[in-house]
Chain A
Amino acid sequence: MTLVYVEHQDGTPEEVSLQALALARGLAGGGEVHALVAGASAEAASGLLGEHGVATVHVPDHEVYASHAPVALGRALTQLAARLGSHTVVAAGTERGNEVMAHAAAIADAPLAANCTEVGAGAELTVTRIRWGGSLLEEARVHGETALLTVAPHAVEASSVGAGPAAAVERFAPELSDADTAVRVVERVSTSAGGGVTLADAKFVVSCGRGVGSPEGFAPAEELAALLGGAVGCSRAVTIAGWRPHTDQVGQTGTKIAPEVYLACGISGATQHMAGCKGAKRIIAVNTDPEAPIISHAEYAVIGDLHEVIPAITAELRKAGAG
Chain B
Amino acid sequence: MNILVCVKRVPMTGGTIVLTPDEQAIETRHLGFTISPHEECGVEEAVRLIEAQGGESVVLSLGPSDAEEQLRDAMALGIDRAILLQTDEEFDGQATAAAILASIEADRAAGVEYDLIFFGNESADSGNYQVGIRVAHALGRPCVTGVKGITVENGRARCEQEVPGGRDVYDVALPAVVTVKEGLNLPRYPSVPGRLRAKRKPLETRSPKRTAPGVEKIRLKLPEGDTSQAEILGHGPAAAPAVVDVLRRAGLVA
A interface residues (Cβ-Cβ under 8 A, vs B)? 68, 70-71, 95, 98-99, 101-103, 105-107, 110-115, 126-127, 129-144, 150, 179, 182-192, 198, 200, 203-204, 228, 230, 236, 239-240, 242, 245-247, 249, 252-254, 260-261, 263, 268-272, 281-285, 290, 292-305, 308-309, 311-313, 315-317, 320-322
Contacts and interface: CB of A to CB of B under 8 A. Distances in A.
Contact of A282 (B160, B218, B246, B248): B246
A115 B230 CA distance: 29
Contacts of A99: 129, 133, 145-146
A247 B144 CA distance: 20
Interface in B122-167: 122, 124-130, 133-134, 136-138, 140, 142-146, 160, 162-167
A253 B93 contact: no
Given A102-B130, A296-B228, 5 more contacts: A98-B129, A105-B130, A136-B222, A253-B38, A302-B236
A110 B94 CA distance: 8
Contacts of A189: 160, 166-169
B200 interface: no
Q: Which of A131, A290, A308 gathers the greatest number of chain B CB atoms within 10 Å?
A: A131
A103 B239 contact: no
A253 to B, nearest CB: 4
Contacts of A150: 129
Contact of A131 (B92, B168, B220, B233): B220
B220 A302 contact: no
Contacts of A249: 182-183
Contacts of B72: none
Nearest to A111: B214
A111 B186 contact: no
A183 B252 contact: no
A151 to B, nearest CB: 13
A303 B232 contact: yes
B254 interface: yes
B186 to A, nearest CB: 6
Contact of A271 (B15, B168, B252): B15
A301 B230 contact: yes
B110 interface: no
Contact of B252 (A185, A228, A309): A228
B226 to A, nearest CB: 6
B37 interface: yes
Contact of B237 (A106, A300, A309): A309
A236 B251 CA distance: 29
B250 A281 contact: yes
Contacts of B216: 140-143
